[in-house]
Amino acid sequence: MFFFRKKRGVSQNKQSSESSPDLKYIPSSKKEMEMVIKSVLQDDTDLVIKSLQHPGKELTLFYFSTLTDRKIIQKSILSVLQNLQAPSPSLEEIEASLPIGEVQVTESLDQVIQTLHNGWTLLHIEGKTNALLINTFGMKERGLTTPENESHVFGPQVSFNESLATNTGLIRKYIASPKLHNENLEVGKITRTKVSMLYIEGVASEQNVNTLRQRITELELDQLIDSSMLVQLIEDNSMSVFPQMMLTERPDRVSAFLLEGKLAVLVDGSPYAIVCPSTFIEFFQTSEDYYVRWNMATFVRMLRMIAMFLSIFFTPVYVASLTFHYEVIPSALLVPLAQSRAKVPFPPLFEALLLELIIEFLREAGARLPTKVGQTMGIVGGIVIGQAAVQAGFTSNILIIIVALGALSSFTTPSYMMGTTIRIIRFPMILLAGIWGGFGIMFGFCFLLIHLLRQSSLGSPYLEPFYPIRLRDLQNSVVRMPFPFFSKRMVLTRAEDKGKFNAKRAKQKKDIDE
Amino acid sequence: MEITVKPKANLLFSSYLLLFVIVGNQVGIGVMGFQRIIFREAGHDSWISVIIAGISTHLVAWVMLKTLDLYGSTDLYGIHEDVYGKWLGRIFSSLYIAFLLMGALIVLRNYIEVVQTWMFPDAPAWLFAVLLLFLMVYGVSGGIRVIVGFCFLSLFFTIWMLLLLIYPYQYAEWIYLSPVMEASMIQLLKGAKEMTLTIVGFEILYFIFPFLKEKEKAGRYTHLGLLLTTCCYLLIMIVSTIYYSEDQILQAIWTTFMMFNVIQLPFLERFEFVGISLWILAIMPNLLLYTWAATRGMKRIFQWKQKHALYLFTIVLFGVSIFLNTRLKINALNDFSGKFSFYIVYVYPFILFIIAWFRKWLKRKI
């Protein structure tokens, strides 16, 4: 394992391994500086050292060519420095003449090494022990595209990309308020990944902010690549199959959650934001539910709940009733069932597992295949396997309908994580149904119920608003009431500022002919 | 041992949930076939016996709450220690723990028997015992909040089955109910006494009380819960009486499930198979609450770790449920526990209240 949770009280050992042990400050001579930098960075071929002869002083630039924007260095640094008129300009004079916003004066070598890796440029002046750090970071980033995994018909069509700055900017665009706080944290001893924790001050609960900050800062690991890794490390129960914190790629969704008093975590290099605390039911909601009218949204949400139950229980019920309880099947239904199963040599359990596996193969292959080859998947899956399996007498037609329905239902779950969870749960349920029939299904159901009752998300109950029952949050769970009902923030987040607007005035009704 | 219990704030739960705890612990195995036993005593006036039994639960619960109110925030174990002193208190508490375990055992064993009889005649009993006890261990180790949550949710997943009484109701013969009050008062009371096994479970109040957020509201929700249970039982009793003829009802063992026979849906027949499977949701609260209360007792009296007590009791329940392998033994257990429960649940609270009240009164005098 490359990580473990750090015990409290142990101080962070600071960056000592990377700089040379005897030097903590910037040397005054250029030669010495070059030697120091080269000794620390070994022979990195993309490190550029550029010297400028200026009357009286020698100026040297250090930067990584791969991390910086060449145009900025040429236009905003080099040309400015060459045109400097003063005979021996001071550090402050140079700083004032540079047309760049982010410039820092530093003496610490550690800071120099660290910022060089973030795409900054170091300007060293012969004979001075402090130097200028200039932000010249410039890297090509993926353009802002439409959300792929959480695609909507209505609403904003923009998703996060891999740049932390852009992602934070996207959220700031939605919430233009000084109350939106952005706390910068750092995770990973080697990778030094930048992590931002966002919340709205006065809305998000202080306790939640502290808990989340503590969970992130107490992590001790050497690498962090993606937010989906971070979420597994800071979840309440990482052993559970259920995701306890939401991952979303939609800035509008994150903003809406922040305004409810939740917290968001952005990780540099990851197009997914972590939102917490989350509840079970939230994984079955989308931001589109708020963009369409409330009755439509309610209908779709109920549809998704039905789909979830179907997806988990339909195939197991088929297996259980055909294996043990054929008495429950009415005689009119029994005939077509028997006819379609007459040729099948396998017991229902085996038959169902086989078909479920085929569906899972299809799904996984479809996800991994390049898009050009992907079209063949439909043909392979639909015709070859479906048709041929029935004709060969491997499975019954009815089971194909049931399994396909279950798979289809599991894809209606908006959250990819939760959809996968539901598909995984299906397999033990089918096994239980095949071994102990209806009793087995209910055993599995009870186990799931107890398991869900035991979970929490950032300390908040996972099954809220169903248990503990919270009427206000129930209005926005399986149903989505009209907006006048949402005058208060969610109970779940324990928001400090609870009210959104005046409920009485919103609900005022007119009399006839007024 | 501390007499007052002050659980941590995050373990407390809202008082309205007490309703679900009471109903969850009352409704269990008895409701599957209590009609026959009462019918034997009170005939077609059995529904009056149900009402009498229901009223008596309110009376007993009222006394229980009065006793608990004397102490503010404590459970039965604390009261025992205060009333009887250390050693005698321990003996009484241990007896009560045995009673609680017996409650769990009866639910466990009878449910397994139902499952065996209706669904899996060939499957061994120990298998179902292992499965149910596994769920029990998983639930109890989640703590009181999880258990209460399960009671709460399970009621919603089971109470809709009352609506299914519409199906047997279609074949109702109201004439079966008349003449009303044919049975004598003695017969009615005997019938009510036979309800004991079905209607007990509210004694869990003694143990859950300190975990309530607003203790002054406990009475309201206890009585509401008892009322709800009584109404359910009354409904089932009346529908059974008008659906079955007298001879049939005296022969039907699992009367309630037999009524499901008449349910016919386009995609489903023989609903009792679904019903019996779903009934696991109704018996789990019994198992969870009784075992939780028993393990809590071991913690309170003997300073055991609750986990260790849970494992021990699980093994005990498993061992005994295997030993009870015939219908005769199970019947004997049910009869014994019916009598035992009657004295513990109906008689003992009055005695305890009088002693506790007397001691408080004495202390105030001195």
- The whole-angstrom separation of Cα B56 and Cα B350 is 12
- The whole-angstrom separation of Cα B58 and Cα B202 is 10
Identify which of A23, A27, A24 has the alpha carbon closest to the alpha carbon of residue A125. A27
pLDDT tens-digit map of A74-95: 888 888 888 877 777 778 888 8
Strand-pairing partners, residue A224, are none
Q: Could you tell me which residues of chain B have a Cβ less than 8 Å from any Cβ in chain A?
A: 13-14, 17, 115, 119-120, 123, 128, 131, 135, 138-139, 142, 145-146, 149-150, 152-154, 264-271, 273-274, 276-278, 280-281, 284
User: Which chain B residues touch A327 with a CB distance below 8 Å?
Assistant: 269-270, 273
Read off the amino acid at residue B36.
R
Three-class secondary structure assignment of A336-387: HHHHHHCCCCCCHHHHHHHHHHHHHHHHHHHHHCCHHHHHHHHHHHHHHHHH
- The whole-angstrom separation of Cα A353 and Cα A229 is 31
Structure tokens at A321: 């009733």
Mean pLDDT of A248-276: 94
Query: Quick check: A9 pLDDT over 70?
Result: no
Whether the CB-CB separation of A456 and A211 falls below 8 Å is answered with no
Q: Residue B330's CB: how many other CB atoms inside 10 A? A: 17
Structure tokens at A333: 């239904």
Do A437 and B120 count as a contact with CB atoms less than 8 A apart? yes
Write out chain B's pLDDT in tens, 366 residues.
788 888 998 899 999 999 999 999 999 888 888 999 999 999 999 999 999 999 999 999 999 999 999 988 899 999 999 999 899 999 999 999 999 999 999 999 999 999 999 889 888 999 999 999 999 999 999 999 999 999 999 999 999 999 999 999 999 999 998 888 888 999 999 999 989 889 999 999 999 999 999 999 999 999 999 999 999 999 999 999 999 988 889 988 889 888 888 888 888 888 889 999 999 999 999 999 999 999 999 999 999 999 999 999 999 999 999 999 888 999 899 889 988 899 999 999 999 999 999 998 998 887
Q: Residue A131's CB: how many other CB atoms inside 10 A? A: 24
Question: Looking at chain B, which residue has its C-alpha nearest residue A438?
Answer: B277
Mean pLDDT of A415-429: 93
Nearest chain A CA: its distance from B310 CA (Å): 17
Do A447 and B135 count as a contact with CB atoms less than 8 A apart? yes
pLDDT grade for A504, boundaries at 50, 70 and 90: confident
pLDDT grade for A16, boundaries at 50, 70 and 90: very low
Interface test with A, best of B19, B20, B119 (most A CBs within 10 A): B119
Do A438 and B135 count as a contact with CB atoms less than 8 A apart? no
Do A328 and B273 count as a contact with CB atoms less than 8 A apart? yes
- The whole-angstrom separation of Cα A286 and Cα A276 is 15
- Who among A437, A443, A451 is closest to B131 (CB)? A443
Question: Looking at chain B, which residue has its C-alpha nearest residue A468?
Answer: B149
Distances in whole angstroms, Cα of residue A123 to Cα of each of A34, A44, A130, A205, A489: 12, 19, 9, 44, 50
Do A454 and B274 count as a contact with CB atoms less than 8 A apart? no
Do B277 and A328 count as a contact with CB atoms less than 8 A apart? no
Whether the CB-CB separation of B209 and B68 falls below 8 Å is answered with yes
- The whole-angstrom separation of Cα A173 and Cα A175 is 6
Terminus-to-terminus CA distance in chain B, angstroms? 24
- Who among A328, A454, A467 is closest to B270 (CB)? A328
- The whole-angstrom separation of Cα A418 and Cα A406 is 15
Interface test with B, best of A449, A460, A491 (most B CBs within 10 A): A449
Q: Beta strands A219-221 and A273-276: pairing type?
A: unpaired
Q: What is the reported pLDDT for A56?
A: 67
Interface test with A, best of B20, B113, B280, B281 (most A CBs within 10 A): B280
- The whole-angstrom separation of Cα A427 and Cα A288 is 31
Structure tokens at B124: 């061994």
User: Which chain A residues touch B267 with a CB distance below 8 Å?
Assistant: 330, 333
Lowest mean pLDDT among A64-73, A368-377, A385-394, B161-170: A368-377
Three-state SS at A195: strand
- Who among B14, B138, B268 is closest to A468 (CB)? B14
**Sequence-separated (6 or more) residues with CB below 8 Å from residue B307:** B141
Question: Looking at chain A, which residue has its C-alpha nearest residue B261?
Answer: A328
User: Which chain B residues touch A463 with a CB distance below 8 Å?
Assistant: 149, 153
- The whole-angstrom separation of Cα A212 and Cα A197 is 9
Is the pLDDT higher at A44 or at A473? A473
User: Which chain B residues touch A464 with a CB distance below 8 Å?
Assistant: none
Q: What is the reported pLDDT for A14?
A: 41
pLDDT grade for A22, boundaries at 50, 70 and 90: low
User: Which chain B residues touch A437 with a CB distance below 8 Å?
Assistant: 119-120, 277
Strand-pairing partners, residue A97, are none
Interface test with B, best of A207, A314, A331, A439 (most B CBs within 10 A): A439
Strand-pairing partners, residue A61, are A50, A123
Whether the CB-CB separation of B279 and B111 falls below 8 Å is answered with yes
Q: What percent of chain A has pLDDT over 70?
A: 94
Distances in whole angstroms, Cα of residue A389 to Cα of each of A141, A351, A394, A400, A408: 47, 11, 5, 9, 19
Angle, CA A293 vertex, CA A287 and CA A297 arms, to 5°: 55
- The whole-angstrom separation of Cα B142 and Cα A490 is 26
Structure tokens at A97: 């003449």
Q: Residue B217's CB: how many other CB atoms inside 10 A? A: 14
Whether the CB-CB separation of A219 and A187 falls below 8 Å is answered with yes
Do A447 and B152 count as a contact with CB atoms less than 8 A apart? no
**Sequence-separated (6 or more) residues with CB below 8 Å from residue A167:** A160, A161, A251, A266, A271, A273
Query: Quick check: A129 pLDDT over 50?
Result: yes
Angle, CA B24 vertex, CA B23 and CA B27 arms, to 5°: 75
Structure tokens at A147: 């959300």
Structure tokens at B345: 């649940």
Do A442 and B270 count as a contact with CB atoms less than 8 A apart? no
Q: How far out from the chain centre does Cα B91 lie?
A: 23
The dihedral sign for the CA sequence A329, A335, A340, A344: positive
* DSSP string for B185-240: HHHHHHHHHHTHHHH--GGGHHHHGGGBSSGGGHHHHHHHHHHHHHHHHHHHHHHH
Terminus-to-terminus CA distance in chain A, angstroms? 71
Whether the CB-CB separation of B83 and B352 falls below 8 Å is answered with yes
Do B276 and A438 count as a contact with CB atoms less than 8 A apart? yes
For residue A482, with 0-12 CB atoms within 10 Å meaning exposed, 13-18 middle and 19 or more buried, which class applies? middle
Q: How far out from the chain centre does Cα A325 lie?
A: 44
Nearest chain B CA: its distance from A450 CA (Å): 6
Do A330 and B128 count as a contact with CB atoms less than 8 A apart? no
- The whole-angstrom separation of Cα B277 and Cα B339 is 29
User: Which chain A residues touch B113 with a CB distance below 8 Å?
Assistant: none
Structure tokens at B117: 């009889």
- The whole-angstrom separation of Cα B211 and Cα B219 is 14
Q: Beta strands B268-269 and B264-265: pairing type?
A: antiparallel
Three-state SS at B316: helix
Q: Residue A268's CB: how many other CB atoms inside 10 A? A: 21
- Who among B13, B14, B277 is closest to A439 (CB)? B277
Question: Looking at chain B, which residue has its C-alpha nearest residue A450?
Answer: B139
For residue B347, with 0-12 CB atoms within 10 Å meaning exposed, 13-18 middle and 19 or more buried, which class applies? exposed
Q: Could you tell me which residues of chain A have a Cβ less than 8 Å from any Cβ in chain B?
A: 324-325, 327-333, 436-439, 441-443, 445-447, 449-451, 453-454, 463, 466-469
DSSP label at A127? T
Do A450 and B150 count as a contact with CB atoms less than 8 A apart? yes
- Who among A327, A330, A469 is closest to B266 (CB)? A330
Which domains are delineated in chain B?
9-325+345-355 (1.20.1740.10)
Angle (deg, nearest 10), helices B218-243 and B46-71: 170
- The whole-angstrom separation of Cα A354 and Cα B344 is 55
Place of tokens 């040379």: A20
Nearest chain A CA: its distance from B153 CA (Å): 8
